[in-house]
Each structure stands twice: as C-alpha cells, then as structure tokens.
C-alpha cells in the first residue's frame, strides 16, 4: 500500500470523516496526468470536481479547458489569470457585494501563478495513483479543531483561517497550502454548497502532502495522549475540578494588580 493511502486510513480512523480525504495532484501539462483518471469533460468549477471525487470516491481530472465556470478556481490552481472586469469588481458589482470596490476585494487571496498548470487530479487517497501535492479533508468544526490540535502537538504554528466567503477549497485550501507550505482551514463557500454538495456544517482543511506524516503523528499524540480525545466530553455549568483549575487558573483568587 502506498504511504499516502496508509496516512489517509490513519487520518480517517482518528477523525471518522464522513467522506474520504482527497489528494490533489497538479500537472504542468495535461499529457502528464495519470491515465487512470479521465477528465471530467464538461464545464465545471474546481469545487465540483472535489465534490465528485469525494462522493463518487474515484479519481477525476479537471483541465483548464473545463474549469471555466468559476474564475476563482481556475486562477487558484494556476490555470489562468482572472479577467480584468472580474478582477476590478465591475462585472459582479451589486450582486456579490455592494459596489465594484467592495466586489474587487473578493478576488484577493493566494493563487498559484497563472500559467503554472494545465490540469489537476482529485482522488480519494486510497485511489491516488501518485503522491499528491496537497491533501484535503472535509468535516465538522470539531474534526477541524482536532486537526489544529494535531498541528500544535509537536510544536507547529498557529493555523490560519482566512476567508471572504469565496474560494474555500480552491484558493484557501489548495492554493494557499501549496504556495505557503502550511495547513489552512476554510468554511465551505457558497459555490461548494450550491454545486459541490458541501453540507451546511462542513469546513475544509488543506495541507501540503510533505507535512502529512508529521500532522498524523501530532494528531495521534493529541487524541490518544493529551486532553483532546474525541468526542469532547462536556463538563457543563459546575465547579471546575481541582486539577483543571490548578493547571489553567491563577495561583491566587485575586488577579494581580
């Protein structure tokens, strides 16, 4: 079994995800794409391809010739640059935000440089034909919180969640991890909910594949050795136990100063 598939199984066992974690492999040329996955073959958005892979649980390729329904997704993956009237907000002013200036802010965010890639493969990790560039996982806020605890368990940095409500999967959890080499979280956006069957409660996380083993090791430690076991047992509105109070509270009942 390939290492990425093993890590996917471990992640799923720890978090009990509703849909399988996905690998994303970016190709500079379409002919480099794995023959094990055919292009989707119809006009689409990148988030739809991710939804197809996780619900139908099979590999699928998206090309820059097919991904033109949403400029965000193709630009995030480095297929093209966003068109001028889209970038300056004039095309969607009054629909996506109140005016062109406000609408232009929706285009801001991390993208892979235009022209870098022509295609991308999305697949459940157990059906990934080669090592991915980025790994995606969809889940509840509780499951995403566990990933954060896995990140910090071995000394990782704080996890960023930056969003303007657009580009959750494509920009925030594929492009940003690829460009910045870090774990990122996002809220599944309006397009993913309309076209990619993202549930109301779902969030998405993305991280570079090279950090996957380290993240799983941290997640294992956090959930099995620390205080982060899932599901989180509620304590409720009652006095804190002495041990917890001694660890987190002031050494005196009266705050200093």
Residues contacting 62, CB < 8 A, separation 6+? 39, 40, 44, 46, 49, 119, 120, 122
CA 47: distance to chain centroid? 11
The per-residue pLDDT for 83 is 93
The per-residue pLDDT for 186 is 97
The series of mean pLDDT values per 10 residues for the chain, 257 residues long, is: 95 96 97 84 93 95 93 95 94 94 93 97 96 98 96 94 93 98 96 93 97 98 91 85 83 69
Buried b / exposed e over 53-82, threshold 16 CB at 10 Å, is bbeeeebbbbbbebbebbbbbbbbbbbeeb
Any idea where the domains of the chain sit in the sequence? 3-248
Q: Is the pTM higher than 0.95?
A: no
The per-residue pLDDT for 91 is 95
* 176-206 pLDDT, tens digit each: 999 999 999 999 999 999 999 999 999 999 9
Residues contacting 52, CB < 8 A, separation 6+? 40, 60, 122, 196
DSSP labels for 32-83? GS-TTS-B--S---HHHHHHHHHHH-S-EEEETTT-TT-HHHHHHTTS-PPP
Answer positive or negative: Cα dihedral of 67, 53, 24, 59. negative
């Amino acid at each position: 079994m390939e290492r990425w598939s093993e890590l996917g199984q471990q992640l799923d066992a720890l978090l009990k995800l509703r849909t399988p974690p996905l690998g994303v492999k970016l190709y500079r040329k379409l002919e480099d794409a794995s023959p094990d996955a055919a292009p989707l073959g119809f006009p689409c958005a990148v988030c739809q391809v991710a939804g197809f892979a996780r619900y139908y649980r099979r590999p699928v390729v998206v090309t820059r010739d097919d991904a033109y329904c949403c400029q965000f997704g193709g630009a995030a993956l480095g297929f093209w640059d966003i068109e001028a009237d889209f970038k300056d907000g004039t095309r969607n002013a009054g629909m996506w935000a109140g005016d062109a200036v406000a609408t232009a802010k929706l285009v801001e965010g991390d993208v892979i440089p235009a022209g870098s890639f022509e295609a991308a493969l999305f697949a459940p990790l157990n059906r990934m034909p080669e090592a991915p560039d980025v790994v995606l996982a969809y889940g509840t806020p509780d499951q995403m919180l566990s990933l954060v605890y896995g990140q910090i368990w071995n000394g990782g940095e704080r996890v960023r969640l930056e969003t303007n409500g657009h580009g959750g999967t494509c920009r925030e959890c594929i492009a940003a991890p690829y460009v910045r080499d870090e774990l990122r979280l996002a809220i599944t956006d309006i397009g993913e909910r309309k076209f990619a069957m993202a549930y109301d409660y779902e969030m998405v996380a993305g991280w570079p594949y090279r950090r996957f083993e380290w993240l799983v090791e941290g997640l294992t430690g956090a959930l099995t050795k620390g205080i982060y076991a899932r599901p989180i047992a509620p304590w409720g509105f009652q006095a804190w136990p002495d041990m917890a109070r001694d660890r987190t509270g002031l050494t005196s009942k009266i705050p200093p100063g």
